[in-house]
Amino acid sequence: MTRGHHQKPPPEPSNSRVANQTKRKHRHDDNRRSGIVSGLETQTLIPDSPRISPNCNRFDHLSSSPRKRRKKRVRNSRATEGTYRKWVSSSCDFSDCKDKLVIVSYNILGVNNASNHPDLYCKVPPEFLEWDQRKILIHEEINNYNASILCFQEVDRFEDLDDLFQTEGFVGVYKARTGEACDGCAIFWKDKLFTLLHQENIEFRSFGLRDNVAQLCVLELIQNQSESKYTQASMSPPIRNRRLLVGNIHVLFNPNRGDIKLGQVRMFLERAYKLSRQWGDIPVVIGGDLNSIPQSPIYQFLASSELDVQLYDRRKISGQLEYAYQCRDFRFQNENAARRGAWMPNPKPLLYRWSDEELRLATGIGGVTHVQHQLKLCSAYIGVPGSSRTRDNHGEPLATSYHSKFMGRVDYIWHTEELVPVRVLETLPINSLRRSGGLPSEKWGSDHLALVCELAFADDVNGTE
């Protein structure tokens, strides 16, 4: 959000100083309400000078050393960095691209999940877990992103979200989980930007893959929102409306059931690919909580399009067990896979034994150990350079979720090669998260951080239609 310049008023008589200080404070408070900083600049807010007690030496601060003043500035900076996120842009110039879409993927922490797992939020003040407060924070946060499409997970108060975001021009669809759990997934889009052409849901229970669900929506960009490069001359080629497939998924949490996790991701990608082909090879963008870290075989499967499951222990497919409570930095082992964002482990001589039933769930066919998908996916955050304070060595955010038993990345936005990342919203530094004691907080309404990226169409970048 770009903020206007405020011109400093001329000096006034001493009897109005208090009023001026109040006005300045109000402007200062207004600027603090938004947690988003546009571009590559960060905003450092300087707190008001403390009042000097009559009992203290009012000249003490004049004798403070430069080192003490530097330490104070650092403390002030640290105090604000946990409440502000900044946009970072691609090194490429996308200023001429006509159609740009802002995608948000956000696990908003289901109300029942928050109340049923108090051990995860033992350091979070109870008022920060209240849905009435959290929904307002989530709504205000989303408003700052100028979003086009929202992918929410852990939604168990869809009516509340629908009421809030209708006022911002969004319409949405919801799919609840099967079984006893009452949360689900929801996709919202700006009504003035898109028309819904097709919608379908995946109930993984129908395939023996637990009660999780996924959503797929085919959206068409409304023509008057898309400026054609062609002139209006009679011989100009006709304008083709852009279409986009949006997927939203929340993968099973259970770290021990890697076979089911992989099966859910496999089936989701298979269906997304088929729909993309049916609608004319349209671009695909996927948001979701995959309950898998970037160093996991599931991440490798998404990025490299294939996986040999017999190289891995079923319980380590998602990587959650090995890296819980930690936030580590890993290097990629394979250059080609690294370019696409995949983590390729060193080949292991040990082949793990999977039962036919486990293989059937994971790969779709009993006795088959190799699984593939046809989408060529890229992680949106990989495509935009970021800070070492928030990213690992290859550009993935270090943490998108934080509670008392886990800090790490499990949330993602993936896209096919027909889309390119223009900019992304950085996550919060690890040290800042640790100092907070856990999420949700006074500023953030969930135990996850929203992932936000702006995407452009590759044919706009390449100068073709």
Average pLDDT for residues 181-207, to the nearest whole number?
Answer: 98
Model confidence at 351, pLDDT cuts 50, 70, 90, reads confident
User: Residue 6 falls within a domain, yes or no?
Assistant: no
What CATH number has the domain bearing residue 148?
Answer: 3.60.10.10
pLDDT at 76 over 60: no
Three-state DSSP class for 447? coil
Residue 231 vs residues 161, 227, 235, 237: alpha-carbon distances, Å: 41, 10, 9, 9
pLDDT at 35 over 60: no
pLDDT at site 34: 47
Three-state DSSP class for 209? coil
Dihedral-angle region of residue 281 (phi above 0 means left; psi in -120 to 50 means alpha; beta otherwise): left
User: Residue 96 falls within a domain, yes or no?
Assistant: no
pLDDT: which is higher, 311 or 73: 311
Model confidence at 83, pLDDT cuts 50, 70, 90, reads confident
pLDDT at 149 over 80: yes
Q: Which domain holds residue 350?
A: 107-230+239-462
pLDDT at site 24: 45
User: Residue 264 falls within a domain, yes or no?
Assistant: yes
Q: pLDDT, tens digit, for every residue of 95-132?
A: 999 899 999 999 999 999 999 999 999 999 999 999 99
Model confidence at 463, pLDDT cuts 50, 70, 90, reads low
pLDDT: which is higher, 329 or 380: 380
Average pLDDT for residues 202-217, to the nearest whole number?
Answer: 98
Average pLDDT for residues 343-369, to the nearest whole number?
Answer: 82
Residue 87 vs residues 126, 352, 355, 416: alpha-carbon distances, Å: 31, 43, 46, 22
Mean residue pLDDT across the chain: 83
Choice among 36-50, 56-70, 352-366 with the minimum mean pLDDT: 36-50
| Residue 358 in tokens | 């486990």
Cβ atoms of 432 and 85 within 8 Å: the answer is: no
Angle value at C-alpha 428, between 167 and 124, nearest 5 degrees: 80
Report how many domains make up the chain. Answer: 1
User: Residue 10 falls within a domain, yes or no?
Assistant: no
Average pLDDT for residues 179-187, to the nearest whole number?
Answer: 96
User: Residue 76 falls within a domain, yes or no?
Assistant: no
User: Residue 36 falls within a domain, yes or no?
Assistant: no
Choice among 3-7, 213-217, 375-379 with the minimum mean pLDDT: 3-7
Average pLDDT for residues 412-438, to the nearest whole number?
Answer: 97
pTM comes to 0.79
User: Residue 165 falls within a domain, yes or no?
Assistant: yes
Residues 6+ apart with CB under 8 A from 419: 283, 285, 455, 456, 457, 458
Q: pLDDT, tens digit, for every residue of 300-329?
A: 999 999 999 999 999 999 999 876 544 443
